[in-house]
Amino acid sequence: MDKELLINAIESRFPGITEASSEPFGLLTLEIAPQNLKALVHWLKDDEQMNFIFLTDICGVQYPNQGNREFAVVYHLHNLEANFRLRLKTFVGRENINVPTICDIYSAANWMERETFDFYGIIFEGHPNLKRILNMDEMDYFPMRKEYPMEDATRTDKDDRFFGRIGNESVTFDNKKALAKGNNHG
Binding site residues, another protein, CB under 8 A: 24-25, 27, 29, 53-57, 59, 61-62, 74, 76, 80, 83, 85, 87, 106-108, 110-112, 115, 119, 132-137, 143-144, 146, 148-152, 155, 157-158, 163
Q: Which of 12, 162 has the CB closer to another protein? A: 162
Question: 125 and 65 in contact (C-beta within 8 Å)?
Answer: no
* Total count of residues recorded for the chain: 186
Q: Which of 136, 174 has the CB closer to another protein? A: 136
Min separation Cβ 27 and another protein, Å? 6
Min separation Cβ 95 and another protein, Å? 22
In 9-97, which ranges are E strands? Answer: 18-22, 28-32, 54-62, 71-79, 84-92
Q: Which of 64, 67 has the CB closer to another protein? A: 64
Q: Identify which of 91, 117, 100 has the alpha carbon closest to the alpha carbon of residue 32.
A: 91
Q: Which of 9, 144 has the CB closer to another protein? A: 144
Q: Identify which of 156, 148, 134, 150 has the alpha carbon closest to the alpha carbon of residue 178.
A: 148
Min separation Cβ 84 and another protein, Å? 11
Phi-psi group of 22: left, alpha or beta (phi > 0 → left; psi -120 to 50 → alpha; rest → beta): beta
Min separation Cβ 15 and another protein, Å? 27
Rounded Cα gap, residues 16 and 95, in angstroms:
25
